Structure 1
């Protein structure tokens, strides 16, 4: 079973409306968990709310209460790398908490007693996610051109997470200097990645660039969230789920004539 997790409802688009429920929603820890099937795959959908603790709590509940075997995080992020544009897609290869610092007891960014600062995502699931993100942007190039000022592209690399909304050039430049290979910054991913690492759950993270983490981010983010985010969420996760369902049918022999 897949767990599909976002901080905010708009970041999941119409996925909840398209979910075929197999049970009534369950409310746990002030969160509503929706269980059913989406494009042939058993899924649990939930909104974590914003921030690392909220995201880690939700991921843990998905695993322990609902038995999810894979987690897909879908949401927005502020771009850090100069090459990134609003509308671009980032598929995380690893995630790091940019605001974690237990120095001098442990190296900066390293999670104490885990010996790890950068938590990798699942290679196979992330590759599938990136492939379908690219195909989506190719298929929808014409419609996307009416929403965005430039042609979006897909990037793969490090995602930085912290409990703060980056909205100034000074803060963005400081992050770039400290983590020069970080593509974007958000507020949940690395916390989910740590939970998945500790509990051996494959994870893939999709982040769409809503702003460039600069002075106008406070205005750009809500506009993108309410106007564009759902376009990505409605298509990319479901394409991944269909491909995964087809893969499982072949592996079990159900797809053979």
Structure 2
């Protein structure tokens, strides 16, 4: 009852995209669905895409952050690093190696963003 969608300022999206491009991090811009469900079944994925077909991904925390920022009239931008993509069983990287690489990329992204 507190909000179905939280719009993001276009300037924040543009800055995130240009930052990712500048440092060579692959990215996708889009709607992030937030739900209290780890999608492990085809039916979960189908329900999400039926209700929110424009969703680029689904996660469990971003909606709460956007909700609080909205309540305090503070702009926000949710950036996700996806370690496991539903139905992509060919993930070539072991998780600890992924976590190391993702951490390095996140630090690089934040450093560049703050310049």
Shorter-chain TM-score category?
0.7 to 0.9
Residue equivalent to 1:204: 77
1:121 Cα deviation after fit? 1.9
TM-score (norm 1): 0.39
Unaligned runs of 5+ in 1: 1-111, 139-152, 243-257
Alignment length (residue pairs): 113
Find the residue that maps to 1:229 and give its secondary structure: helix
In the alignment, structure 1 residue 189 sits paired with structure 2 residue 62: yes
Q: Could you tell me which of 23, 28, 35 is aligned with 1:136? A: 23
Q: Could you tell me which of 112, 122, 131 is aligned with 2:9? A: 122
Structure 1 runs of 4+ with >3 Å offset:
219-222
Unaligned runs of 5+ in 2: none
Per residue, is there more helix in 1 or in 2?
A: 2
Find the residue that maps to 1:133 and give its secondary structure: helix
Per residue, is there more strand in 1 or in 2?
A: 1
Aligned CA distance change for structure 1 residues 215 and 183 (closer, same or farther; 3 Å): closer
1:129 Cα deviation after fit? 1.2
Q: RMSD of aligned C-alpha atoms?
A: 2.6
1:169 Cα deviation after fit? 2.9
TM-score (norm 2): 0.81
Q: Could you tell me which of 13, 18, 30 is aligned with 1:157? A: 30
For 1:227 and 1:205, the matched residues in 2 are separated by 20
1:225 Cα deviation after fit? 4.8
For 1:195 and 1:221, the matched residues in 2 are separated by 34
1:222 Cα deviation after fit? 7.5
